Amino acid sequence: MTETPQIDPAPAPLAAATPDTAGDPVISARQVVRRYRRPRRSLTRPGPVVEALRGVDLDVAYGQRLGIVGESGSGKSTLIRLLAGLDRPTSGSIRFAGREITRLPDRSLRFLRRDLQMVFQDPMSSLDPRMTVGDIIREPLVALGHPDSRARVAELLDAVGLPAAAAHRYPHQFSGGQRQRISIARALSPRPKVLVADEPVSALDVSVRAQILNLLMDLVDEFSLTLVFVSHDLSVVRHVCDTVVVMRDGEIVERGATAAVYERPTHPYTEALLAAAPTLRKALAAHAAARNRKEPQER
């Protein structure tokens, strides 16, 4: 049976900044440029250069739920990989909790590895199939030199709605939705301040997307997390995020409170994106209409 997606109401506006960080953003990116060189196709000429980010400025406040939307190839994943310190910009500056991260060597990024965690689109390829779920969840703690904690694994499994016995099993023994719960438990294990999710429900069956989104929103609340949420699905971002930035071709073309941007887009690209988006409301209306059409014959 397919469940009708039931997504909780949109979140309250921006959470207040905590007193010790009042006013300062947790993430601050300035004039970030990332160029890639594509592989060469000719012996005499170098491969073409792709400008994946063309001078992006972005602030993320503590407690904010920021959505990043934009068509495929607009630079969403490139941007969050840079914010997470998984890649370096060609030029520009990125500060995390006030510290410049772009010029720090990997070994100096421990604070970032603890305070910023990521959840990816495909839990099957992001979870090591040879490790038990318990070891997967524990791994970030071990990497940070924390004592191995069984109690913490059980607590995290419980937080994501999985039984404690799941710790002894392997990723392939779980469904797609359950695997994404495991990824979320792993991301939460070092008690991060910021959770960055890159299309976390796009690979999941429609029937479980709403459950995982609701779980994510509950956990963001419970642990007072800052959320950076990348999606090409505008209806999902509307439900999850209080603020949204719209990317196109390596630039942010529009930003603001989600409700305001969706109701009164100022950039023609945002308008086009919204007009083209199959919204959840439209999908539910179509579903209801189809059911109403069918019902008389079924009676």
Ligand X SMILES: Nc1ncnc2c1ncn2[C@@H]1O[C@H](COP(=O)(O)OP(=O)(O)OP(=O)(O)O)[C@@H](O)[C@H]1O
Name the site residues for ligand X (rule: CB under 6 A).
36, 38, 50, 52, 70, 72-78, 232
Q: What is the DSSP secondary structure assignment for residue 172, as one 8-state letter? A: G
* Binding partner of residue 123 among ligand X, Mg ion, none, CB cut-off 5 to 8 Å per kind: none
Cα-based angle 110, 179, 123 (whole degrees, multiple of 5): 60
Phi, psi (degrees; rounded to nearest 5) at 259:
-60, -45
For Mg ion, which residue of 64, 74, 77, 270 counts as binding (CB under 5 A)? 77
Which range binds Mg ion by CB under 5 A, 45-53, 74-82, 264-272, 286-294?
Answer: 74-82
* Binding partner of residue 52 among ligand X, Mg ion, none, CB cut-off 5 to 8 Å per kind: ligand X
Instruction: Report the C-alpha dihedral over residues 196, 199, 200, 205, rounded to 10 degrees.
Output: 170
Residue 189 sits in the site that holds Mg ion (CB under 5 A) = no
Cβ distance to Mg ion smaller for residue 71 or 218: 71
* Binding partner of residue 14 among Mg ion, ligand X, none, CB cut-off 5 to 8 Å per kind: none
- Minimal distance in Å, beta carbon 75 to Mg ion? 8
Cβ distance to ligand X smaller for residue 14 or 203: 203
Cβ distance to ligand X smaller for residue 190 or 233: 233
Element (H, E) at 171: none
* Rounded CA separation 207/226 (Å): 26
> What strands, in cross-sheet order, belong to the sheet with 226-230?
116-119, 194-198, 226-230, 65-69, 243-248, 251-257
- Minimal distance in Å, beta carbon 137 to Mg ion? 25
Which of 250, 227, 195, 231 lies closest to 66, judged by CA?
A: 227
Which residues in this chain contact Mg ion in the complex, by CB under 5 A? 76-77
